[in-house]
Amino acid sequence: MSTPVKLAVIYYSSTGVSSEIAKELAHAAEKAGAEVRLLKTTELAPEEAIASNEAWAAHAEATASIPVATPADVEWADAVILGTPTRFGNISSQLKQFIDTLGGLWAQGKLANKVYSGFVTTDTAHGGHETTLLALYNTIHHFGGLIASPGYTDPVKFVDGNPYGTSHCGAQGNNPVGDETRNAAQHQAKRVVQLAAALKASGLS
């Protein structure tokens, strides 16, 4: 009997939108048979900045029990889904800082031959959905990882329209995560698990 795919869902979220999508991905992956670790990155913002934003402070308190990701979680995983809000068309400093801690594993070749995928949130309709994911995937090329983009491999992707990964426009909190985003996340998670299982069965991972 084959062992289940080990998936790490690693994300940064300030006010909770990325966190909600990460949970949807984790749940869908578990339903697809994966062993999942849902993990957040370390918060780098000062306490006074967090406290000055009611939604940010509330989310920090609500997710206090979610474990912080470590390089060991990436080494453990067969597949990794990384998530971030966009910051000027690029990934957040919190996710980037975590990625920068993976140099030791990279030097040992331990980031290669894993399946990777990404998701992103923005506050504006054209505020970095694609550029942020493409920037993230540049890193995966350096890892020697295999990018599992969802493409247009399911009808739900023609609805959400982003072949690079699940994305959501939060519109400054005025657009909650709905079925369009959830369906896209569910498909992405299942695709990642399926591809990681195939790679694992091949003996290459």
Answer whether residue 182 is part of any domain: yes
pLDDT at 116: 98
Answer whether residue 105 is part of any domain: yes
Answer whether residue 11 is part of any domain: yes
pLDDT at 17: 95
Answer whether residue 1 is part of any domain: no
Number of domains in the chain: 1
User: What is the SS3 assignment for 41?
Assistant: coil
- The pLDDT tens digits of the residues spanning 148-187 come to 999 999 999 999 999 999 999 998 888 999 999 999 999 9
Assign residue 66 the CATH number of its domain: 3.40.50.360
- Domain enclosing residue 154, as ranges: 6-202
Structure tokens at 125: 């309709």
Answer whether residue 18 is part of any domain: yes
pLDDT at 1: 45
Answer whether residue 75 is part of any domain: yes
Indicate the pTM of the whole model.
0.96
Counting as low any pLDDT under 50, the low residues of the chain are 1
Distance CA 190, CA 134 (A): 21
